[in-house]
C-alpha cells in the first residue's frame, strides 16, 4: 500500500525517473480512474431511478386527480 504522503509527492512531480515510482504512480492513476468510473455509474443510476420514481409518482397522482 502506498502512503498518502508518497501519493501527494508523486502527483506533484513532473519528471519521474525511478522505476518503482513510475509503477506506483500508474497504480494511483488507475485507482483514480476506477473511482471516477464508480462515481459516474452511481450518479447515472441515481438519475435514472429518480426519473422513474418521479414518473411513477406523478402517474399515480394524475390517476387520482383525473378520476375524481
- Grid coordinates representing 61 are 397522482
Query: Mind listing the pLDDT tens digit for each residue in 33-59?
Result: 899 999 999 999 999 999 999 999 988
Question: Looking at residue 52, what is its pLDDT?
Answer: 95
User: In degrees to the nearest 10, what's the CA dihedral of 4, 5, 8, 11?
Assistant: -100
- Grid coordinates representing 58 are 406523478
The confidence band for 2, taking pLDDT boundaries of 50, 70 and 90, is: low
Chain centroid to CA 58 = 30
6 within 8 A of 24, measured Cβ to Cβ: yes
Question: Looking at residue 50, what is its pLDDT?
Answer: 95
Mean pLDDT of the chain: 83
Domain of residue 14 covers 4-67
- Grid coordinates representing 27 are 497504480
Number of domains in the chain: 1
Amino acid at each position: 500500500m502506498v502512503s498518502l504522503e508518497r501519493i501527494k509527492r508523486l502527483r506533484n512531480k513532473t519528471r519521474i525517473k525511478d522505476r518503482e515510482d513510475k509503477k506506483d504512480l500508474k497504480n494511483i492513476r488507475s485507482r483514480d480512474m476506477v473511482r471516477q468510473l464508480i462515481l459516474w455509474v452511481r450518479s447515472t443510476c441515481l438519475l435514472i431511478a429518480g426519473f422513474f420514481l418521479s414518473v411513477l409518482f406523478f402517474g399515480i397522482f394524475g390517476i387520482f386527480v383525473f378520476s375524481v
